[in-house]
A and B are shown apart, each in its own frame.
Chain A
Amino acid sequence: MKPRHKRFALIGGGVAVLGIAAALVLNAFQSNLVFFFTPTQVAAGEAPKGKTFRIGGMVKEGSLKRQPDGLTMQFIVTDTAKEFPVAYTGILPDLFREGKGVVAQGKLGENGLFTASEVLAKHDENYMPPEAQHAVDQAHKAAKTVKQ
């Protein structure tokens, strides 16, 4: 094989690998990106039905309830402007607390209840997940524009 051909084959191979990788990435992005919504956005109907997304904010004080089966928990996520009920079956993370920030990932059901498959609370007492904080900040901004 001539050197020129060899070089061609090598470059071709490299481009093929990159192409395949790009295809994989695009495909994975299409189906696996999880968008983040605030309770206000969800209440306004911006969140997709039947598709996984994240909702973040604070767990409303006094809203955590255990269902009769003993394992399903229900609580309300709020960004101080709007509230949204979330259900989760399983063991909540150690740092899940009422009045603290939380991010839940799951789907919105037809009954208007958000069923979480995953609940994230951060490993630091004083922490509020940035996404949750974002939700609260957005609500404040919105409240201000309404007033003006």
Chain B
Amino acid sequence: MIPELGHFALILALLVSLVQGTLPLAGAARHSLSWIALARPAARAQFLLVAFAFGCLTWAFVANDFSVLYVAQHSNSRLPLEYRISGVWGGHEGSLLLWMLMLSGWTLAVSVFSRHLPDAMVARVIGVLGLVTVGFLAFILLTSNPFERLLPAAADGRDLNPLLQDPGLIFHPPMLYMGYVGFSIAFAFAIAALLSGQLDAAWARWSRPWTTAAWVFLTLGIALGSWWAYYELGWGGWWFWDPVENASFIPWLVGTALVHSLAVTEKRGGFKNWTVLLAIAAFSLSLLGTFLVRSGVLTSVHAFATDPRRGIFILILLAIVVGVSLFLFAWRAPKVGLGGSFGLVSRESLLLVNNVLLVVAAGSVLLGTLYPLFIDALGLGKLSVGPPYFNAVFVPLMVPLLVLMAPGPLARWKHAEMAPVLKKLLPALAVAVALAVAVPLAYGQWTPLTALGILLAAWIAGASVIAVIDRLRAGVTGQPLHWWGMHLAHAGVAVFVVGVTLVSAYQQEKDVRMAPDDTVTVGGYSFRFVGVREAMGPNYRAMVGELELSKDGKVLRSMHPEKRAYLTSTMPMTEAAIDVGLTRDVYVSLGEPIDERAWSVRVYYKPFVDWIWGGCLLMALGGFVAIGDRRYRMKKAAAAKQAAQGAAA
């Protein structure tokens, strides 16, 4: 009964979204106040219905209702409760429903936190989101109904893919979808602005916090995914340039460009058309990512049960959404005036370079990702584009970007003199050069690339430190939060670069055959193989290895990598054992038994690898702080009042 209620709620939601996607838009065009007023209630009803449907599916999972096909495919009575809940988004149908929940959640947030916006604008934004919602709900109901019954019911479920039975995977998809879907808000604002012809600084200020929020979630989502791949896949890598990873990284790059170009549009009224185009692109690329992952057109390590019907549906959805938006852009953009002029050397021009580099980088990643598809479509053979391509193209494009990150925030708007900025940055440069010489030497091997990485990281971090000291010394108190947010995020990039540089240069890896009491050493750490015993988990059987980790003859701890066999799916899984440290990880994973006593074992030494995710966290934190800026929360007619309150306080 409950699954049917959920299904019914989704159908109702589709009807509501049809109203939400048409009347408010028409109302805004015809100045019909009653139609405009429908936007907010429709958005709320929409959210309640989708949330109810999501709740029904969750209930089916928690209650082990194996008469629901999707539950029978992705759960099992022996599955621990937390994975039964996260199993809701463990497959295609449920993850689409999660996507839908996020979309209606974001729409709800717009309807609640938009009191300071003109009603017609809100109606347009919610209307555009309503149209996107129609598309996705139709997709779910027509091709991917999660409530489909299985009669007679299965005695037990097929179990959740063991790879997904992991804490990292509980949070990774929701975060990633929050980011993907969040760009729909920036998109809806852009389309609403194009429809109304009101492309101005106010529009940029409204859409900025939403864009930053989406960017924060996407950053966290990608970082979580990377971290999960690192410890769960047992390969010790943190990024594989896999098509599915790229599908999330391309919108991130464009979103990062968007966050920066919005700054120019808000502060200087410039780059308007460009910003609109980026907002459309960021969301379009999120949709494209969804298409690539779920249609199975590309070879990837990520499995999603695919079916051609779904691929066609998403492709049509993508074509309509993006095609109409780009057409609207081509029609309206020529009428939009240029913003304030700026000098060849100015904050604007630096941000322009930032945007060009980020977009070109996104384009080259997209090209590498789709290239096998192009070649295949032209009948020229099957091939794959591996990590070397991406490294060879992506890294050189990022170097100038990182170089300019330091002077960027210090340069003035409109017209800047570089000489004083560079003079200010001189200490940062000195420290950076010293570190670039010293750090690689400390690791005993100096290469130009490592030195460059350290140089850039120290240069960026140094610039942020100088900026903060500068402001404090000048006695300028009460820096706006977005200023702190920016420097935090930039420091995050520096931390990230340190991690990437050192782990790429100095990681060590060994595949060895180990019998009890054998010892292997990597990066100064010794592992003594003690043995392997059997253990039983809730829904798996495991071989648990024991290795004793020591350094300089001192025993540090014992490590327990596992090799699991899941009972229902009989799928084997490697669980690595990791000793996490601020300056290094040591990592062991168990291979296979070679004979009665010996196993093949893989050990890694990974210096500064955790800085990669630490840097991402800092970036996200920076974005989060920036959203808190009070400038974004000005009430409609309350700007003056707020100033008065500020004076009184």
A residues at B contact (CB < 8 Å):
1, 3, 6, 9-10, 13-14, 17-18, 20-21, 24-25, 27-29, 31-36, 54, 66, 69-71, 89-92, 94-95, 103, 105, 120, 122-125, 127, 129-131, 134
Contacts and interface: CB of A to CB of B under 8 A. Distances in A.
B360 A17 contact: yes
Contacts of A127: 303
Contacts of A92: 591-592
B396 interface: yes
Which 5 pairs from chain A and chain B are nearest by CB? A124-B303, A91-B591, A70-B513, A36-B382, A28-B392
Contacts of B569: 125
A66 B301 CA distance: 25
Contacts of A122: 301, 303
B556 interface: no
Nearest to B297: A130
A10 B303 contact: no
Count chain A CB atoms within 10 A of each CB in B344, B384, B388, B397 and give the residue with the most: B384
A54 to B, nearest CB: 6
A33 B302 contact: no
Interface stretch (B57-65, B348-356, B496-504, B633-641): B348-356
Given A21-B397, A36-B383, A124-B303, A90 B598 contact: no
A95 B571 contact: yes
A36 B381 contact: yes
Contacts of A103: 299
Secondary structure of the A contact surface, majority rule: mixed
Count chain A CB atoms within 10 A of each CB in B301, B363, B598, B602 and give the residue with the most: B301
A32 B385 contact: yes
Contacts of B161: 123-124
A109 B631 CA distance: 65
Contacts of B571: 94-95, 125
Contacts of A13: 353, 356
A51 B107 CA distance: 52
Contacts of B397: 21, 24
22 contacts: A3-B341, A10-B352, A17-B353, A24-B393, A29-B371, A32-B386, A33-B383, A33-B385, A34-B383, A34-B385, A34-B386, A35-B383, A54-B383, A54-B384, A70-B594, A71-B512, A90-B602, A91-B511, A122-B301, A123-B161, A123-B303, A127-B303
Interface in B281-312: 296, 299, 301-303
B367 interface: yes
Contacts, number: 119
Nearest to A14: B356
Contact of B382 (A31, A66, A123, A131): A131
Given A91-B600, A95-B571, A28 B393 contact: yes
A92 B252 CA distance: 33
Contact of A123 (B163, B357, B600): B163
Contacts of A123: 161, 163, 301-303
B614 interface: no
Interface residues of B, number: 52
Interface of B: 161, 163, 234, 296, 299, 301-303, 341, 343-344, 349, 352-353, 356-357, 360-361, 363-364, 367-368, 371, 381-386, 388-389, 392-393, 396-397, 511-513, 569-574, 589, 591-592, 594-595, 598, 600, 602
Given A70-B598, A92-B592, A32 B388 contact: yes
A70 B296 contact: no
A17 B573 contact: no
A82 to B, nearest CB: 17
Contacts of A17: 353, 356-357, 360
B594 A24 contact: no
A71 B511 contact: yes
Given A70-B600, A95-B571, A35 B303 contact: no
B595 to A, nearest CB: 8
A130 B299 contact: yes
B550 to A, nearest CB: 23
A25 to B, nearest CB: 5
A91 B592 contact: yes
B299 A129 contact: yes
B459 to A, nearest CB: 21
B356 A89 contact: no
Nearest to A130: B299
A21 B384 contact: no
Count chain B CB atoms within 10 A of each CB in A24, A35, A54, A92 and give the residue with the most: A24
A123 B574 CA distance: 12
B381 A35 contact: yes
Given A66-B594, A71-B511, A71-B512, A31 B384 contact: no
Contacts of B595: 70
B511 A90 contact: yes
Nearest to B566: A125
Contact of B513 (A27, A32, A71): A71
Nearest to B514: A70
A123 B367 CA distance: 25
A94 B352 CA distance: 46
